[in-house]
Structure 1
Amino acid sequence: MVTLKNLSVEDPEESGLPLLPEAKNIEQAAVTNGKTELRKFFISRETNLCLSLVLLLGCYSAVLIPAYLPKEQPVWENGSLQGRDTVLLNRSASLLARECRPGWCGERLRSAALCLRLPEIPVFLQEGRAEWAQPPPLGLQDSEERAARTLQTLPQRGPPPGLGGGGCSRCVVVGSGGVLLGSRLGGHIDQYDVIIRMNNAPVFGFERDAGSRTTIRLMYPEAAPQSPREYQNTAIVALVVFKSLDLEWLASVVTKESLGWWSKLWFWRNVVESVPLQPENFRILNPEVLHQTSLALQTYAKQQRKMVPTLGASAVVMALQLCDEVSLAGFGYDLQHPDAPLHYYESLRMDAMKSQVVHDVSAEKVFLRELVAAQVVTDLTGAL
């Protein structure tokens, strides 16, 4: 009861009088309607689960389906693939048809006065301890004893059979560049005396463009081909030592003894434990080849620093020491066109090279271009 100037107003809540039945019904209806509205606002668990699954599948489809749709394959701008095929094939055929010129690469290299000194050492590591001023991959500093032990497992350490016998030899270094795709150079590549490949670049399924046999495959453990068939028609597998542990891997492969689990942990990806070749088919690349390649590339680099060359550039320098004539196929990065295929055997695009910081591919391209311009080597695919 509230009293204002002799006036009294009775508070209904303080009143002891019961509510009318109609009022009770109205109040209950209001509560029921409120609960109903809340149920309508919040969906059921079953409906929520279904919608979540639909949204999840939709997101996965938006991401995955475009990756499997056919894409238009970009062409190289250094000459149309269609327009240059006949010219390049004819030039390659005429090169193979003429007599091999003994000592051609060495003579051209000396007359061109390029910043490349071919080391007067064996291409493959030989018996005997040497003092190395650089750690792997540019040397064997602090890994000499491990290298000596691995060499003991190799019955042969010289060049492949047929080289060094006094005859004239032709080499072709087959790069992994996308420019090789559609080149139809496979039959020409197979006619060379020495065919050099790098890492896991496949042969099986790409014989028409890349050839079918391999004389020397340069590789390190993490980049070794996983498929046993890629070692068919292969004369030599040559290890490129990037770290001391790589020597242990080679010894385990040659002797067929399993590599310890602790050693396996230090590889940045799973490595093959078996290579279907005989012990006499293995070699170790002399690190001085990479060292001299690195010194030559520093001349063309914008920033002077210790440079680790790609296996492609190192293979070219190795070929210049082994053979009288050297040709290149599948070399040349078209960095101006990021959608161009990076490799001939996968869908990776050219812009992937921008993320790597180990190699200076721009300096390597200038270096290889000068070799081509000086007629030290021949570019079969015309992308340099």
Structure 2
Amino acid sequence: MVTLKHLNVKDHDEGSTLVLTEAGSSETSGTKCWSEESGEFFLNQQKNFALSLILLLGCYSALLVPAYLPTQQPIWSERTTTQSVALINRSAALLSQPCSSSWSTVRLSTVPQFRGLLDIPVFLQNVTAEWELSPPLGLQGSEETLAHTLKALPLSRLPSAPEKCRRCMVVGSGGVLYGKQLGIHIDKHDIIIRMNNAPVFGFETDAGSRTTIRLVYPEGAPLLQQEYQNTDIIALVVFKRLDLEWLAAVLAKKPLSWWSKLWFWRHVVNEIPLQPENFRIMNPEILKRTWHVMLSYTQQERKTVPTLGISAVVLALQLCDEVSLAGFGYDLQQPGAPLHYYETLRMDAMMTQVVHDVSTESLFLRDLVKAGVVHDLTGAL
């Protein structure tokens, strides 16, 4: 045996494998134990991979799952019982009084900047108008598609309601509506207007169960067919020419081509369980005049467009003598507040969008309430 520093090299028979051991170790038993019994100290390849995968998933879960869980932040829409009862009593008091003819329009005419919102035709009946702007503030460039779609609409009149005096309720999607228990009062109005996919089923206590007009664009139309029950009219708000093609396909009960569907930013519903007489096209003049009023708040050109919510309020002013709102009011100072009454999305999601100017719209709505043009039943304006 020859000793080289700290290693012992033992002679073996020809063809055998050389084994290196630390100097001073006892025979080869220690080395033999390490090589043969190493399986007790290290997992095999399959088990090692599985353990790594579990650890990796655990790390991702620890980082990502909390982001999707409800946060323990103060919710602005939650009021004390006393405040909630006060809102219910106020709503009941308004409904107990006789309907006042032309209540909203008379007060609207007293504010100079709002006079442009008077006497706007609500639904399109023909294509004779000369549009100065393209969608959504007009229909320039879409006249041919509009004419084709209008041919499939047998009716363009207003929904049935008392002819002497009408009360409108515009149900906003705001989180402030949650827990207010105004559903039974909402259903007592002559015309009830909702927007896009704001659900009714499961939220009847707060949002009511009846819909007279639901304003939609294709990407926002409810996907669940049950949401079209107890609905009188679906009114399309045109944001692009393809929206008219979508409506024509729905009326004909034929799906759009795969190529057309590629141009929608979200999946659109193919079928709506209503008859052609239940559909309308909202007059883009409503959006245009609302947009002009919003310009008066800043005195500068804006690239944003009015939301369906503010458009629904202006539409209601054309249809009804008295107009009330529920579920309106964004408090952007509280990013943790619920954005909608039906989901966990928070207010900070609205802060990141650039299509709508909700701050200006809030000022606009508050001025309408202050002037007595509309009633705010949830008290967030």
Deviations 1:301-322 (A, max 9, x none): 4853233000000100111111
CA shift for structure 1 position 81: 4.6
Aligned partners of 2:287 and 2:170: how far apart in 1? 16
Which residue number in structure 1 is paired with residue 251 of structure 2? 254
Which residue number in structure 1 is paired with residue 19 of structure 2? 28
Alignment of 1:100 with 2:85, yes or no, is no
Alignment of 1:49 with 2:46, yes or no, is no
Which residue number in structure 1 is paired with residue 213 of structure 2? 216
Which residue number in structure 2 is paired with residue 75 of structure 1? 75
Aligned partners of 2:324 and 2:8: how far apart in 1? 101
2:239 to 212, 237, 242: 242
Aligned partners of 2:115 and 2:289: how far apart in 1? 7
Aligned partners of 1:375 and 1:206: how far apart in 2? 29
Asked if the contact 1:170–1:323 (Cα under 8 Å) also holds between the matched residues in 2, the reply is: yes
* Counterpart AA for 2:171: V
Which residue number in structure 2 is paired with residue 233 of structure 1? 230
CA RMSD, Structure 1 to Structure 2 (Å)? 2.7
Number of residue pairs the alignment of both structures matches: 363
Deviations 1:299-345 (A, max 9, x none): 22485323300000010011111110000000000111111100000
Deviations 1:145-195 (A, max 9, x none): 1101100000001211226x3x10000100000000000000000000000
Aligned partners of 1:23 and 1:170: how far apart in 2? 102
Alignment of 1:339 with 2:336, yes or no, is yes
Which residue number in structure 1 is paired with residue 174 of structure 2? 177
Which residue number in structure 1 is paired with residue 263 of structure 2? 266
Which residue number in structure 2 is paired with residue 293 of structure 1? 290
Aligned partners of 1:119 and 1:184: how far apart in 2? 32
1:374 to 353, 362, 371: 371
Aligned partners of 1:43 and 1:251: how far apart in 2? 64
Q: Report percent identity of matched pairs.
A: 61
1:195 to 188, 192, 197: 192
Aligned partners of 1:73 and 1:254: how far apart in 2? 45
CA shift for structure 1 position 218: 0.1
Aligned partners of 1:99 and 1:228: how far apart in 2? 36
CA shift for structure 1 position 75: 2.8
* Counterpart AA for 1:321: Q
Asked if the contact 1:103–1:325 (Cα under 8 Å) also holds between the matched residues in 2, the reply is: yes
Aligned partners of 1:76 and 1:302: how far apart in 2? 32
Asked if the contact 1:81–1:183 (Cα under 8 Å) also holds between the matched residues in 2, the reply is: no
Deviations 1:274-312 (A, max 9, x none): 000011000000000000111111122485323300000
Which residue number in structure 2 is paired with residue 318 of structure 1? 315
CA shift for structure 1 position 205: 0.4
CA shift for structure 1 position 373: 0.3
- Bigger Cα Rg: 1
Asked if the contact 1:103–1:324 (Cα under 8 Å) also holds between the matched residues in 2, the reply is: yes
What stretches of structure 2 of length at least 5 have no aligned partner? 12-17, 23-27
**TM-score of the aligned structures, taking structure 1 as reference length:** 0.87
SS in structure 2 at match of 1:248: helix
- After superposing on structure 2, the runs of 4+ consecutive aligned residues of structure 1 that deviate more than 6 Å are 39-43
**TM-score of the aligned structures, taking structure 2 as reference length:** 0.88
Asked if the contact 1:115–1:299 (Cα under 8 Å) also holds between the matched residues in 2, the reply is: no
Which residue number in structure 1 is paired with residue 359 of structure 2? 362
CA shift for structure 1 position 71: 4.9
What stretches of structure 1 of length at least 5 have no aligned partner? 1-17
Aligned partners of 2:214 and 2:9: how far apart in 1? 92
* Counterpart AA for 2:211: T
Which residue number in structure 1 is paired with residue 88 of structure 2? 89
